[in-house]
Amino acid sequence: MTTLLDAETFELLSNMESFFIQQRLRMLEAVTSGCIEQPNVYDVFDKDNKRVMIIKEDSDGCSRCCCAPGHSILVRFYLVGKDAPELKPGQKVDWSYEPSGLPFMSFEREGCDCCIGAGPCNKPCIGCFACNESCREVGVLYSGDLQGQPGASSKDRSKLLGESVQPPGGGGFKPIMQIMERVDGNDPTGKTELFAAARGPCFTGGCSKLCFDALFGLAKVQPDMENDSSKLHTADFGQYATITKLRPKKMGQAVREAFTDSDLFDVKFLSKDITPQQKANVLAQLIHLDYMFFERDNDLCKPVNGGVQITFANCFVYGCVCPCTITLKSSS
């Protein structure tokens, strides 16, 4: 199958059996409890803990503060050059380093941008029940550097690598995301076909993220299962690949989880016949899942009406993420 990935990226992904992804801590976002949202940056490490990629979010600042985590995003993937400072997971990042090359691929999620333009928001109900196109999650992966405003780029399908698509109903009480890949790199229409699906747990986030990993198992599925949740749920999830949002293992990590959106992820490719292009789509799927489930400010507790609201977990119901909370009132 012809692919649009460049030779260096193709070779890197061919040899990758797993990734470890560390989201960078943004101090301004942390000290303001998410009132000032900053663009996400992720460092990607291989199985030998060598940093191989940097992933950077581009989004409108106003929409990021008012509409997150459902805002439109354009995320660019960069290879780490030989001039990059050495970095191991957990080490302090040198923010002065910027990748010298152009991004090898870009991922775009169209979301709600209430601050941009005078027209209506294209995705006003994103994050609610996945009934129609206005509330279903869709992300598109392109090769190279995608230009344009996040959520409203040129959408040149001749550069398309794949798509991340939420089926109608979102999978019911266990979230399902379909992963599509480009069928033919020489086809300018960029036709895609379902090749895998990811299914996650009903409960994520809140206090539960301090105690449990959130495992999204991936299964190899047939193209005729597209948009049919009854068939998709019968797939053998976790045998093709896994995406895991890791629970904190140290006190410092737990504090970071409590007060920021900075997360740790692990990706493992279990199938022997997974292609570099499919691995690229799985990596993009991880970024999409992070925004869908783990980018919620004050996800553990927040002050409300003279008391404190504690979130035990977020329950997934047909595309809607519903917090399960209890409010403790002050006795004074």
Q: What is the pLDDT of residues 56-80, one digit of tens each?
A: 999 887 877 778 788 889 999 999 9
Which range, 175-179, 203-207, 247-251, is most confident? 175-179
pLDDT in tens, 17-29: 999 999 887 655 5
pLDDT exceeds 80 at position 204: yes
pTM surpassing 0.95?
Answer: no
Cα–Cα dist 90/83, whole Å: 20
- Residue 31's pLDDT is 55
Using DSSP, state whether 240 is helix, strand or coil: coil
- Residue 148's pLDDT is 84
Split at pLDDT 50, 70, 90, the class of 151 is confident
pLDDT exceeds 70 at position 1: no
Using DSSP, state whether 249 is helix, strand or coil: coil
Could you give the angle at the alpha carbon of 278 between the alpha carbons of 72 and 238, nearest 5°?
95
- What mean pLDDT, rounded, does the chain reach? 87
Cα–Cα dist 299/206, whole Å: 5
Task: Classify residue 329 as exposed, middle or buried by CB count within 10 Å of its CB (0-12, 13-18, 19+).
Answer: exposed
220 and 234 in contact (C-beta within 8 Å)? no
Q: Which has more confidence, 315 or 115?
A: 315
pLDDT in tens, 99-129: 888 999 999 998 887 766 545 577 778 888 8
Could you give the angle at the alpha carbon of 174 between the alpha carbons of 170 and 178, nearest 5°?
50
Using DSSP, state whether 225 is helix, strand or coil: helix
Q: What is the mean pLDDT of residues 198-214?
A: 93
- Residue 118's pLDDT is 44
Q: What is the mean pLDDT of residues 257-264?
A: 69
Q: Quick one: what percent of the chain has pLDDT higher than 70?
A: 89
Q: What is the mean pLDDT of residues 218-227?
A: 95
Split at pLDDT 50, 70, 90, the class of 214 is very high
pLDDT exceeds 60 at position 161: yes
Exposure letters 139-166 (e unless 16+ CB within 10 A, then b): bbbbbbbbeeebbebeeeeebbbbbbbb
- Residue 116's pLDDT is 62
324 and 206 in contact (C-beta within 8 Å)? yes
pLDDT exceeds 70 at position 39: yes
- Residue 45's pLDDT is 93
pLDDT exceeds 90 at position 252: no
Cα–Cα dist 94/34, whole Å: 23
Radius of gyration (C-alpha) of the chain in whole angstroms: 19
Tokens read off for 291: 């925004």
